[in-house]
Structure 1
Amino acid sequence: MADENFLASIDIGSSKIVIFLAEEKNGKLEIFGHARGSSAGINKGEIIDIEEVAAAIKRVKKKAILSCDTKFDNVSVNISDPNLTVINASPNIHISGKVKQSDVNTVVQTAQSKIPPNQQLISKVTQCCTLDKDPVTNQGIIVKQPIGEKAQNLEISMHIVTASNQCVEEIDNSLKQSELGLFNIVPNSMASSEPYLTKDEKDKGVCLVDIGSGVTDFSVFNKEGILYSSSVPSGAGQATRDIMDAFNTSFEEAERLKIEYGWVQAKAITEDKLISFKQIDDSNYYYLSYESLTEVIEDFYLELFSLIRTKLKQQNLYRSLNAGFVLVGGGAKIKGCDILMRGCFKKKAKIGRVNTDLIGVNISVVSSNDDLLAPEYACALGLLLFKPDKFDSEQQLSNAKGIFGKIKRQRARFSI
């Protein structure tokens, strides 16, 4: 059993639910407990049956407790919402004397007033604080911590991430029915960025793409933080369904073909081969060519990447991605996925690798045949590392709109 200072994360996906428990050891987080199980009640990243989701969470929760003999009540959870938005705000106020916490609260609340009534605050990322900015030259004194500084004007630039009220409430209710409390709620790709993106990549401009089973989330980051976040209601599960349709086979058999033989470089095949498989309601074995299977999977990924490219160009962000793309999620495990993306976007692309200086696995207590640092666990890992914004005071939290105001945060206990 771990000591009391530990964190728990839960990744609620379209095909699977993952729970990780971690504690600080030697300056980084170490996973000491985990569980994985099938999801239910979710379609393309959206909750369609709260009771089914809650029942699935309970099953995985029980396995997680048994894995490490540790009970837990509060979790950091992911959110995938087609209506996710990023609001860029730079409100300012006049002050007299030294900057107080109440002044910071006022600026933050002014920014939050821009949130539409059908949305609520999920995350807030402070970019910079500027004292006494000149309205003509647009120059001022940039400080990391304004409280206690003398100034006549305070401006705080921030990114505010919001999601639909309905989506957030459905997640909250699913956790409540699972007898779990909400410690933090974080968009998928923001969470996944924590263990996978380097400071250098963010400074240059990078897009993290999290390919799940039912939905693909992606976010753009630069040196100022998150610039844009969106999703495509399609994931690697659609590639499985395309295989089903193309070869008249079951979902399970199509998934096996994808995992065992999946590749997305049909033109690179130099020697074709035949693959045996079974069709629906037929005990006989049939054969398909490796090239034909690859073409079906490749077509899906080409369409997915095209949708992402269109959204990025609509936001005028495509040219700013000097560090290219980082791919995570279970769908990123398909062989050649990064190569195909490089060809589609004419930019750098790579499969994400976990920064093991930040997080690892306590192999002395964790017994698993899975690689718990693999791309498919990106979100669950990132949720453990994600930290609240440095200017989230208790007063701001209590005044915040929606579920964010209800979250009782245990203040940061880790100094990683």
Structure 2
Amino acid sequence: MTQHEVHRLSPTTTAIAAVRPQDRITTLTFSVDFGSRDDPAGLSGAAHLLEHLLMTAPVAGGPSLTRRVEHLGGLVNAQTGLDSMVFQAQVLNEDAPAVLALMGEALIRPAFDDALLDAERRVVFQELSAAAADPSDVVQDAFLARLFASHPLGRPVGGTVHDIERTTAADLLAVHDELFARRRSALLGIGGLDGDAFRKAADASAFALAPADPDHGQPSVAAALPLERLTGDTGPLRVPQDAFCWICIGGRAPALGDPAGPAYTVLAQLLGSSASSLLFQRLRDDEGLVYNFYAWSRGYTDTGAWRVLLGLESGNAARALDVVRELLDLLGTDGPAPDDLAAARRQAVMELVLDSEQPQHFSPRLATGTLWGTRPWSLDQAVAELDAVDAGAVRRAAAELGARLIWVVRPEAT
């Protein structure tokens, strides 16, 4: 991975360039420390709606950002998370400066009205319907709702139909101007665009416009509930009558930048979907209980979530849950064996390095790794942190999770 250069655009926005001279494509990414957790009261889904409108609204009197980028043959995408939003365009190097300027206009100085909102609202309802029909999505929302009960991180990113129906264009413009535009953010350029050209285009863009009263701090919401208030499940698993169900199992994880975070990442590999993982050996090789399962750890600005997602026949659910609990108990007591730990560390490093060679995946990592340009971070540093995870750190992570393990099943038992 090419070393990146940091350039301050405004009190809230940092430009980060990583030049790869051999590339003919440049990936432009704008990442904001703002997400669905910041939706105002009564306007759940506002961040997600805003994302849609920023991508589809006319830009400077012409077509939308999405249409203009794709007219150039580029690829464009956006995503709203619990505490971040990401906008991305991949274009030929020669088109990158002009597209960067368009992104600035679209994302920093948007213009949309209720007519456009009404059209996009219908699209969002379709998106929510599709998610509601997918139990693997529903179970994760239900898991986070339990994990972060009574906290904004526990709300679904898409919001509720009631709140979306009542939201106006004026509401969303206020969310943009008073929240989105005032949060720390990073503008990233990874690819063949020359570093000087990237800085020049960034300085001339709307991304360089500083808000009148920037908010440099963490998201202005209550801190996550203390771990001591999160109690684990102790009762029997209630499974649905359906032939197939999804289970999400896990607990709290460290926040972004927490030194304990890499141990939870390695633990997710130990219980991940790799054929060399402990969980694969037990669930697939030994007992044939599960076909699809995944494990991962995600850090947010003030807390995190570690989870295992299982898709399996309902009759296997109780035993599969027992296997996960048994392995966490084992790891929380004895820690991993040296060979298992070495393999899990190597897999975590491989995943990180693989992302580093795919700019569309690495740029969001770079944005959050640097905490939107507010701290030093590098791929080498992240690899070194994973390599330094020892058996004791994994044992402590597993013991912490095992003591407060929660689980959710969907469809629900009747």
TM-score, normalised by the number of residues in structure 1: 0.25
Which structure carries more strand by proportion?
1
Which structure carries more helix by proportion?
2
